[in-house]
Chains A and B, each alone.
Chain A
Amino acid sequence: MNDALVHIAIRHLTKRFGAVTAVRDVSLEITRGSFTTLLGPSGCGKTTILRTLAGFYEADQGDIFFGERRMNDVPSHHRHAAMVFQDYALFPHMTVFENVAYGLKIGGVRGEELRKRVERVLDDMGLAGLGDRMPGMISGGQQQRVALARALVMEPEILLLDEPLSNLDAKLRVTVRAELRQIQRRVGITTVYVTHDQEEALAISDRIAVMHQGEVVQYGTPWEIYYTPQSVFVADFVGTANFLRGRIREAEAQWFTLEFGGRVIRVESPGQGLRPGEEAVLNIRPEAIQIASMPPADPGSNVLEGVVRTHTFVGQWVRYWVDVTLQPEAVPYEFVVDVPDPRERGILEGRVFLGLDPRKIHHLQGA
């Protein structure tokens, strides 16, 4: 990556709390103007990294750079990295206007300019006319915007967001995240976003750093994270995964096959570096599996026979849990299969055939 484009550099960051290592030797480079998400389950260290960037935690080891400048010893109130808190942290004893004006006042902005800048940002956020309200008198969505306005009015170069949407209801969350992305694009501000919601991360980010037990396990675009996860953890945490565990049977330049429960699964992706006999894990997403009550005519597909155990209908798609009997295991293997727009075909029951498209099976390199 070109150095001039790197806005935030985290180098070998380690942070401990007593005996617990919250962040373990993490290095990450974040491009200027990008929207980067730290994604992971609770306790994975994502919030710790964000709070270290904000200056609320001191790094035990490693360095933080904003551009060329090493930030480790810069106190939080001199970092100019505006943060939006999970609980918004609006000052309950100040009006909306005073909340937004607070940082500007500390910066020495006074009088007419102060009023103009605060009102402009309130307008932009759709908060015009709410300036005199106390935070307790406005809705959750509005509080969320005030928190964002209070950060953006500082015209910071870096915006830090700590699960800012987690207190909103599901529908509002989708609307606000689209707005957030638009504002970020318009202002061009380097944004670091923390969430445990994989769907939100995929929807909003330029790049995602998936974290697990204090380490970044994969860093890439949402596309890369979803379609080419490097580990079982990433594949499982982002989206739903069907894992096929077995041994490599044949490996050629353009394809390879896997012995899976007494069957042979063909995968159309380069087999270089794979040795017959070694263990491997493949992943296929539920929506990439074809399901039908008759065996498919296309012989190129991997076909497995199974029985529908149960299903759930959520409107735009139906999800099946299909038991496939494998050898030598006694317990059947359970596949998750999603069928979009199920209206015409209705709900399948009993014996079914699963088609695993050889082009849509992904080999987990780092598993």
Chain B
Amino acid sequence: MKRLLREPLLLATILTIFAALGLFVIYPVLRVLFYPGLRDFLALPGNERYVTATLHTCVIVILSTSSATAVGFLFAYTFTRTTVPWKGLFRGIAILPLFSPPFMIAFSYILMFGRNGLVTYTLLGTRYNIIGWHGLWLSQTIAFFPIAALVMEGVLQSIAPSLEYAARNLGASGWRLFRTVILPLARPGVAGAALLVAIYVLADFGNPVMIAGHYTVLPTEAWARISGWGDVTGAAVLSSVMLIPAFGLFLAQRYWVGRRQYTTITGKVVLLTPPPTPWYVRWPLFAFCTLVSLLILCVFLGLLAGAFSRGWGFDYTPTLKHWQDVLANGRALINSLVFAAVAATVSSLLAILASYLVSRKTFPGRALLDFVAILPAAIPGVVFGIGYSLAFNAPPLDLYGTAAIIILSLMFWNIPMGYQTGIGRLKQIAPSLGEAASNLGAGSLKTFWDVELPLLKSSLVSAFVVSFIRAVTTLSVIVFLVTNRNAVATFTILNLANDGYRGAAAALTTALLTLTCIVLALSRLLFGRNVELFRI
């Protein structure tokens, strides 16, 4: 502590970060929790709509988490331990959903499998309708299995192939080998992936708002409270209810499973080709991966077709008329990109600085800073958005309808992305480098600037990229904060889709995706190719 007082600039930085996180992370959440009175919470079990939404949420979290984890595991297993043909291609397709707005999959499935769906109606002539819980289940499975796949890919990769050879050498093979060696070693990783997916499913707003229909879940019910009835209290009650499981899952994921993983990342990749997979495993996996990949490609196909078709379901003549709507909504598109870029830049810098302070400095409250910096990962976007709308709608900090409120919310919601990347990278950088700089006379912040930051450049860029994608594509955080003045594209797309302008919605989504890709390509050009994406 005495040391800290001798470095006033460092002290000021730490205090500023604490103040910022306190004001923009803790305070909004507390506002949500304390906005309703005790009576409002007690009334909850008597409200049939609330109870239904809660039950629905439980059911869909269990369904989607199970299926996404299972699909993710099969993909991860295919990538890492088999000789299934085209597995590189499958991997490339599997990460596509990570780049897309969360509602896009649901929206596209309505186009493909809805009442007027291209597949269900036009091709098959049925009046099958995907809207409802089954549609939600499918969309969420496709949307979130890539997360599970990436986590488990890391876990399976870290099981040295030599173990598999050793087991074979001792006489185990096939199912026995899988059951006695691979599965037990992967189990903590599977549990971790499942919990992570559950967090995403629980918080998911985009898919249910598009495709769930009357099957309300907590985030959509909260949204309905505010948008339909102006019932802020009800929305806050539902948000608070959502926080309990979200927090539980988060704690379990981080402190229980996180410590039980058998794997240590050493950066040393053991290059030993897996033994050839028997045909009765290889071809079913191949068929399965093909099916899932087609379902993913379907999303993009549906979107593109929708963007260029005159009237979905009855008139597929190519047209550019929807692109006039895109131009009309140019303002929202630009807002999306600018807000996300600003938020992602500041967020990743702040997050990396925080990760440096936590990993390299000792100061009172360090464990607290570590906790608060990853806390937003536990808070569902809807809760974060409602929190901001409650916390910053009156003086002294009245940000209602401003660009600032959107930028700030996106910035602090994404802090954990950069923070975790930074912590991970700093573990790989020898602490002696910073000590050497200090030994040569550099103060803490100069050390950060001269030594740690240049070495963290790649982490900084990947933090920026991930934060940017999340900021551009989110709907849940901003849906409670936008007005006509600060509208962003995802919100406009939601409104267009809800109002039946599906072509315009598809065109605007396509435009948003394209522009996002351009920004990413530019950042790649600027900072080089050495960017790890989605290190979860």
- In the complex, B2 has a CB within 8 A of chain A: yes
Main secondary structure of the interface of B (DSSP, over half): helix
Chain B residues, Cβ within 8 Å of A55 = 438
Chain B residues, Cβ within 8 Å of A107 = 441
Question: What is the bound-complex CA distance between A83 and B430, given in angstroms?
Answer: 15
Question: What is the bound-complex CA distance between A20 and B455, given in angstroms?
Answer: 33
In the complex the two chains form, is A58's CB within 8 Å of B3's CB?
yes
Select B451's contact among A81, A82, A91, beta carbons within 8 Å.
Answer: A91
Chain B residues, Cβ within 8 Å of A77 = 438-443
Q: What's the minimum C-beta distance from B425 to chain A, rounded to whole angstroms?
A: 13
In the complex the two chains form, is B437's CB within 8 Å of A102's CB?
yes
Chain B residues, Cβ within 8 Å of A90 = 436
In the complex the two chains form, is B435's CB within 8 Å of A89's CB?
yes
Q: What's the minimum C-beta distance from A91 to chain B, rounded to whole angstroms?
A: 6
In the complex the two chains form, is B435's CB within 8 Å of A56's CB?
yes
Question: What is the bound-complex CA distance between A54 and B438, given in angstroms?
Answer: 9
Chain B residues, Cβ within 8 Å of A91 = 433, 436-437, 450-451
- In the complex, A15 has a CB within 8 A of chain B: no
- In the complex, B6 has a CB within 8 A of chain A: yes
Given A87-B430, A93-B454, A102-B450: A75 touches B440 (CB 8 Å cut-off): no
Name the interface residues of B4-49: CB closer than 8 Å to any CB of A. Answer: 6-7
In the complex the two chains form, is B3's CB within 8 Å of A85's CB?
no
Residue among A76, A81, A82, A83 facing the most chain B CB atoms (10 A cut-off): A76
- In the complex, B187 has a CB within 8 A of chain A: no
Chain A residues, Cβ within 8 Å of B446 = 106
Chain B interface category by residue count? 20 to 34
- Nearest chain-A residue to B7 (Cβ)? A75
Q: What's the minimum C-beta distance from B143 to chain A, rounded to whole angstroms?
A: 39
In the complex the two chains form, is B6's CB within 8 Å of A73's CB?
yes
Please count how many residues in chain A sit with their CB below 8 Å of the partner chain's CB atoms: 28
Question: What is the bound-complex CA distance between A89 and B442, given in angstroms?
Answer: 15
- In the complex, B317 has a CB within 8 A of chain A: no
Given A82-B440, A85-B436, A93-B455: A73 touches B2 (CB 8 Å cut-off): yes
Question: What is the bound-complex CA distance between A86 and B446, given in angstroms?
Answer: 23
Residue among A75, A78, A103, A151 facing the most chain B CB atoms (10 A cut-off): A75
Select B441's contact among A73, A89, A106, beta carbons within 8 Å.
Answer: A106
Q: What's the minimum C-beta distance from A121 to chain B, rounded to whole angstroms?
A: 13
Chain B residues, Cβ within 8 Å of A87 = 430, 432
- Nearest chain-B residue to A92 (Cβ)? B455
Residue among B2, B450, B455 facing the most chain A CB atoms (10 A cut-off): B450
Given A73-B6, A102-B450: A82 touches B433 (CB 8 Å cut-off): no
Question: What is the bound-complex CA distance between A89 and B434, given in angstroms?
Answer: 8
In the complex the two chains form, is A85's CB within 8 Å of B455's CB?
no
Question: What is the bound-complex CA distance between A77 and B442, given in angstroms?
Answer: 6
Question: What is the bound-complex CA distance between A90 and B430, given in angstroms?
Answer: 10
Name the interface residues of A268-301: CB closer than 8 Å to any CB of B. Answer: none
Select A54's contact among B433, B435, B450, B451, beta carbons within 8 Å.
Answer: B435
Given A54-B435, A75-B3, A89-B430: A102 touches B440 (CB 8 Å cut-off): yes
Question: What is the bound-complex CA distance between A259 and B436, given in angstroms?
Answer: 56
Closest 10 CB pairs of A and B: A103-B440, A89-B432, A89-B436, A106-B441, A85-B432, A76-B438, A93-B454, A83-B439, A77-B438, A77-B441
* New contact pairs (15) apart from A89-B432, A102-B440, CB-CB < 8 Å: A55-B438, A73-B6, A75-B438, A75-B443, A76-B438, A76-B439, A77-B442, A81-B439, A85-B432, A85-B436, A86-B432, A89-B435, A89-B436, A91-B450, A102-B442
Q: List 24 A-B residue pairs with CB atoms under 8 Å apart, sorted by A's residue number.
A: A55-B438, A75-B438, A76-B438, A77-B440, A77-B441, A77-B442, A77-B443, A78-B441, A79-B439, A85-B435, A85-B436, A87-B432, A89-B430, A89-B432, A89-B433, A89-B435, A89-B436, A90-B436, A91-B450, A93-B454, A93-B455, A103-B441, A150-B436, A154-B441
Residues of B within 8 A of A (CB): 2-3, 6-7, 430, 432-433, 435-443, 446, 450-451, 454-455
